[in-house]
Amino acid sequence: MPETLPDGFLLDLSIEAGAWDEEDRLACLAERAIAAALAVADLKVADNSELSLLFTDDAAIRKLNARWREKNSATNVLSFPGSDPQGDVYGPLLGDIVLAHETVSREADEFGIEFTDHLSHLIVHGLLHLFDYDHQENDEAELMESLEKAVLAAIGIDDPYADRPLVADGIQAGS
């Protein structure tokens, strides 16, 4: 499994707000998660593709969530797709993934998992959204969840859904 990004792949990482780790540590964690997702989920990217990661806080992500999703609340991760795919090849502008420190930290504590494992999961989750994966319906949620679990297992992270029921867009499966 490749532990590095494809040649020419540009990861644009910015820390805007929040109590995030040093940029170098975040870049290593992100590169590992993204490389695994590209390989395991067989995601096709154009040459010289670019992905932006913005590390921020709950206040900033709340504003983005209100503006773009009409939900006036903080969330853990938001994804903003870039250029339209050419067939099954995405890029060169993959899009933006935005993460909120307080929510990611709180969820990691609530789930009893390592912060870095949860952050890796959310980066994978956000990336899959950029490749048109979704969890609006149960079948979509099952596919996306299975890909997330496979990617995380490839980098040594336990199943994040093991003790939680499948949720499709905020509705528990079967309800």
Per-residue confidence at 168, pLDDT binned at 50, 70, 90? low
> Is-contact 128 37, C-beta < 8 A?
yes
Q: Is the pLDDT confidence value at 173 over 70?
A: no
Q: Is the dihedral of CA 105, 79, 175, 160 positive or negative?
A: negative
Q: Which residue has the tokens 């997330």?
A: 148
Question: What pLDDT is stored for residue 56 in this prediction?
Answer: 98
- What DSSP assignment string belongs to 124-174? HHHHHHHTT---SSHHHHHHHHHHHHHHHHHTT---TTTTS--EETTEETT
